[in-house]
Structures are given as structure tokens and as C-alpha cells.
Amino acid sequence: MRPSDRSEHPQGTRATAHEGAATGLRDPVIAARGLNLVFPTAAAPVHALKDVDLSIHRGEFVSLIGPSGCGKTTLLRVIADLERPTGGTITVNGMTPDEARRQRAYGYVFQAAALYPWRTIENNIALPLEIMGVERAEQRRRIEAGLDLVGLSGFGKTFPWQLSGGMQQRASIARALSFDPDLLLMDEPFGALDEIVRDHLNEELLKLWAKTDKTIVFVTHSIPEAVFLSTRIVVMSPRPGRIHDIIDCDLGRERPLDIRDTPEFLQIAHRVREGLRAGNGDE
Ligand SMILES: Nc1ncnc2c1ncn2[C@@H]1O[C@H](COP(=O)(O)OP(=O)(O)OP(=O)(O)O)[C@@H](O)[C@H]1O
């Protein structure tokens, strides 16, 4: 771990050891330093992000958790170049977010599946490939691989409305992965789904992550979801939006659903809950 990263763990010490061991000295995929974002509004400026320092390394699964309005989505949108910070610096794959977006360094999965209803599932997945000018045969190959990866083989010719909410979200994940980005940004992708479907998709996402070694940044409101999925959990607090704690989640890569009943899991969940409480109390 480099000295400059120490400020990222305001209250955590375990995270420090883990990050060093797991990631060595490789350049971070995402490096935010002193990041600030103030939205000018008619009423009063909103300090959506304040002094955010965060490094995310290749192959990590990092969740952003915190109460409504703490800046989770804003941080994800800054990484994706959908918002511009008003202070500090951020790099994505060593580039500015603008360059990273142009080079299609990431796939983005929104809260709602956001599939085009007039396109079949395979044509939705093909959309980024069409925009990139990928030739037809290669498009076909990638569509099939994408459908297979998210367990939707055989559903390519259906329309979004013919699929359940969970299947639609899988299709949107396949679309985000169609051009094989190393980085996947996911904004509460399973928030609207019922618990059983969500559990299942959490398991599927973990398998996909293990298989592809992507770097994933995942926004959630759910403590169990964050602990189940993540290698690190960034606990954020609101007004202004900032990082309250970064918690190491060293449960190994193989995580069956019943890991959620183990003392290790419950201990991490407890720490996240405490962090959320303390962060809210700081207001
Ligand atoms: N375009 C905007 N203009 C003005 N204020 C904004 C804008 N986008 C976000 N905000 C404000 O910035 C703050 C952070 O919003 P953000 O959506 O990032 O929070 P969040 O943690 O993702 O919340 P939620 O969990 O409800 O999605 C909030 O106070 C929000 O109202």
C-alpha cells in the first residue's frame, strides 16, 4: 500500500492490510483524490461529494452504500463522465473519465433495465456494438456469449416486455458487457426486484465476476447485498456526501448464500450498520 492511500480508510485498519495484499502496487483502475462536486441549485448549492479519496484496483468488487442523498449515484456518474467534479481529480484506467468514456472503458447498468421495448433482447445487446461499428458476424458471436454469460440463452428473439424484471436486468448486464469492458458500474441494479430473484441474481453476478475478473463498482442500499457481493464496502454519509468508512469484506471468492448466516458475515454486516448509523449521526 502506498502512503497516499492511507487517508482512504478514515476508520478502517483491516482494509489497509487487505488492499495491500490483494492488489499489490498495481495502478488503480479508479483513483479519486480530493473529489468534490457541488450542484448549484436555485435554493442553495448541494454539496453532493466532499473530499472523496478512493482507489479501486483491478478485480475488486466495491460497493457504495449509504442513505438516500449521500452521493452514491453521483460518484458513479462522475466515474462514468456523466457528471463533472467541481474539485479534485479522478482517473479511470489512468485516463480522464472523458477519455475513458470515449474508449469505452466501462459498462453501466442502471436501476431500471432501460431496454428499448421495440428491440428484441439480442438487438438491445447489439446496440453498443452497432454504435461501435462491430461487424455482423462478430456481433452475433458476442450476443450469444453475452446471453450465455447471464443465463439467457434462447431468449434473444424475445422482447423485453415478454421477460420478468430479473431477466430484463440480466439482459441489461449482458448489454453492458457486450463490448467486454474491464470495468462494470452498477447503480442499484436489483433494487426493484423481489428478494428471491435478487438473491439469485446476486449469486449469478458473483459467478460472473469470478469468471471474468472484471472490476465492479456497485451501488446498493442493502447491507446483506453489499456484504455478500463485495471485497470492500464504502460507507457514505450525507450532507455533504462523503466517505465515512471503508470496510474490508474478506469472505473469499466462493460465497454460497448461506454464508450470510456465518459469524464472519454477521460481524461485517454489523460494522457496516454501525458505520451507517455513525455517519448519519455526524450530520
Ligand atoms: N443534477 C442535480 N442537481 C442538483 N442536485 C442534485 C443533482 N443530482 C443529485 N443531486 C443531489 O445530490 C445529492 C446526492 O445525490 P445522489 O443521487 O448521488 O445520492 P444517492 O446516495 O445516490 O441517493 P439515492 O440512494 O436516493 O439514489 C442529493 O442531495 C441530490 O438531491
Q: Is the ipTM of this complex over 0.90?
A: yes
- Rounded mean pLDDT for each run of 10 residues along the chain, 283 residues in total: 39 37 66 96 91 96 95 96 96 94 89 88 93 91 90 93 91 88 91 83 88 92 95 94 94 89 96 90 53
Query: Does the beta carbon of 69 sit less than 6 angstroms from any atom of ligand 1?
Result: yes
70 lines ligand 1 (CB under 6 A): yes
pLDDT score for 4: 38
- pLDDT of 151 reads 86
The predicted structure's pLDDT at residue 252: 87
Q: Which CB contacts under 8 angstroms, 24+ apart, belong to 195-204?
A: 197/164, 197/165, 197/166, 198/166, 198/225, 199/257, 200/166, 201/166, 201/169, 201/170, 202/228, 202/229, 202/257, 203/257, 204/150, 204/151, 204/170
Q: Which pLDDT value is given to residue 11? A: 39
pTM over 0.90: no
Q: Are 64 and 219 a contacting pair, CB within 8 Å?
A: yes
- For atom 12 of ligand 1, the residue with the nearest CA is 48
What contacts 261, CB < 8 A, 6 or more positions away? none
Which pLDDT does position 80 carry in this prediction?
A: 94
Q: State the closest ligand 1 atom to the C-alpha of 71, by its place in the atom list counted from 1.
A: 18
Tell me, what's the pLDDT at 42? 86
Ligand 1 pocket, residue 191 CB under 6 Å: no
**93 alpha carbon to ligand 1 midpoint, in Å?**
25
**Which ligand 1 atom minimizes the distance to the CA of 111?**
27
